[in-house]
Amino acid sequence: APVQQFTPIMVVTIPPRMCPTVSLKMASRRTDCLAKPLSGFFEKLGSLVGSYPFYFFVVPLILSAALGGGFTFLKDREDNDFERQFTPRKGPSKATRAFVKENFPYNDSMFSEDRLYENDYFASIIAVSTNNLNILANPAFEDIIRLNNKILNITVYNGTLGFNELCARANGECIPNTILDIVRSNETDQTGIIFPVCTHGSSSVFLGSVLGGVITDANSSVISAQAVKLFYYLDGKESTTNASKLWLRRFKKLLSDETDKKHIDVRITYCHTVFLSLIDSHTTDGFPLFLITYALAITFSVISCLRFDNVRNKVWVAVFGVLSSGLAVLSSFGLLLYIGVPFVITVANSPFLILGIGLNNMFVMVSDWQHTNVKDSVPKRMAHSYKEAIMSITITALTDILKFSIGVTSDFPSQQWNLSNPIRNKKCDSVKPFAIIFMEEEMY
């Protein structure tokens, strides 16, 4: 057999290329100076809550119930004064009023409508005749006299204070509706009433502001009129403020319930309590919307946390997460009412903001809980959930506080109270009955 020849293979070893060693020294900067201590603290808090869920479930309920007692002061703390709450503190109109008040001082003992720059305690009505009757003649004028007598007989505080005690005075007497005296003195002959300026006694009275639809003859004597305007001025002293407000409420109720006016139609043209009643109606109108919003929030939360697995199902967590926001409203509002913070109607919008913030935090915590190991103990899973969720919740809390704090600098007092409440509620919305999540896991 032929002999095979093998060609020798030379293996050449090439020394590695020598490269100069470059030492790169990176500057180290700590970026967890806030996250690390917060995460560590809330990790311990989560473990504590997971170990003793009952206390973290019951104590917030008791605390909320105690603080909610502040709502007993709600009526005393209500402050819906239009000028004080809904106008800027340093508005130009207030500077103008201060100038007028300084140079044209008001004399309480000598009422003057022309110098009335801050008295809101008065009411006025317009009576219009029906069927095109002359309102200055009977039977329409009799209805006006009957209604005027009923108004003058309105009393408050079990009949101890009436119009004669609360009225604004000039020369020691209540300010009358002079047009009624003029018509009475000229009841048999209305041609004695000159329009628009009529002489009554020793003074001239301008009738252009109290009579409407006037028909005169060639001598400016009144033939007929269609409308009469009446004013009821009250004293604006601080000692009678509450009584005056109550009298005006009785005035409004009388006009609303009055049915004995067959020949005239009466409308309130100004009454301080009319505006207050509008505010009260808006307050009560918001409650159904508030309940509907909470019902929708609970429904959305339940659907979002619904699972077909009974163990991982978090329906009750969603329900109590929404109720946690409600308890935050109860606690913070009650605390503020305890310490004397005024309650303004615009604050009624705060619960809707608080609900949105609270639901956001709830979903963050539920998401972090569902990413934990189901085989771990509840305290360990809670520690991990709190540790992971704290930074997200902190960032949203800080941004909310920042934007609401900007609103607190507003020159409108009502806006300040409205935007400061969510800031306080942020502090009451974290650890509340979320302990239900741990009690639920313990049962399974």
pLDDT value for 118: 65
Same domain, 214 and 305: no
**Domain match, 390 and 248 both:** no
For residue 27, what pLDDT is reported? 52
95 inside domain? no
Tens of pLDDT, residue by residue over 245-297, are 888 888 888 888 876 677 888 887 766 655 555 555 555 556 677 778 778 87
Residue 27 placed within a domain:
no
Together in a domain, 255 and 289: no
Torsion angle in degrees (nearest 10) through CA of 211, 214, 219, 223: -110
pLDDT of residue 441: 39
- In the listed set 206, 235, 262, which residue is the last one of a domain according to the structure? 262
> What CATH number is given to the structural domain containing 417?
1.20.1640.10
Q: Which residue has the higher pLDDT, 75 or 275?
A: 75
Among residues 217, 234, 262, the one where a domain terminates is 262
Residue 275 lies in a domain: no
Please check whether residues 146 and 177 belong to one and the same domain: yes
- Please give the tally of structural domains in the chain: 2
Dihedral angle sign, alpha carbons of residues 286, 292, 295, 301:
negative
How many other CB atoms sit within 10 Å of the CB of residue 199?
A: 12
Residue 378 included in any domain: yes
* Per-residue confidence (pLDDT) for residue 228, from 0 to 100: 92
Q: Is there a contact between 38 and 394 (Cβ–Cβ < 8 Å)?
A: yes
pLDDT of 432: 43
Share of the chain above pLDDT 70, in %: 77
> Is residue 20, in this structure, part of any structural domain at all?
no
- The predicted model gives 394-405 an average pLDDT of 81
At 67 the pLDDT is 92
Q: Is residue 187 part of a domain?
A: yes
Report the pLDDT averaged over residues 40-61. Answer: 89
pLDDT digits (tens, 9 = 90+) for 357-375: 778 888 888 888 888 888 8
Q: Same domain for 389 and 434?
A: yes
pLDDT for position 221: 87
Torsion sign, CA atoms 358, 360, 365, 366: positive
State pTM to two decimals: 0.61
3-state secondary structure of 174: strand
Same domain, 428 and 293: yes
Asked whether residue 337 falls in the same domain as residue 217, the answer is no
The arithmetic mean of pLDDT across residues 100-110, rounded, is: 76
Identify the residue with better confidence: 434 or 220.
220
49 in Cβ contact with 56 (< 8 Å): yes
Cα–Cα distances (Å) from 82 to 79, 91, 278, 346, 442, in that order, read: 9, 14, 12, 12, 54
Per DSSP, the three-state class of 39 is: helix
114-160: pLDDT as tens digits: 677 765 678 888 989 888 788 888 888 888 889 899 989 999 888 88
CA dist., res. 391 & res. 262, Å (int): 71
> Which residues have a Cβ under 8 Å from the Cβ of 421 and sit 6 or more positions away?
332, 333, 336, 347, 350, 354
User: How far is the CA of 369 from the CAs of 5, 50, 355, 366, in angstroms?
Assistant: 75, 12, 21, 5
Least confident of 242-246, 350-354, 394-398: 350-354
Residue 16 has pLDDT above 80, yes or no: no
Cα–Cα distance for residue pair 234/247, rounded to 1 Å: 9
Longest Cα–Cα distance in the chain: 163
Specify whether 287 is located in the same domain as 434.
yes
User: Would 312 be classed as within a structural domain?
Assistant: yes
Are residues 76 and 186 located together in one domain of the fold? no
Are both 228 and 285 inside the same structural domain?
no
Kindly state whether residues 377 and 289 are assigned to the same domain. yes
- 87 secondary structure, DSSP code: S
Q: Rounded to whole angstroms, what are the CA distances from 372 to 37, 80, 123, 382, 384?
A: 21, 50, 67, 9, 7
Percent of the chain clearing pLDDT 90 (strictly above): 4
Q: Which domain holds residue 148?
A: 131-262
Same structural domain, 61 and 178: no
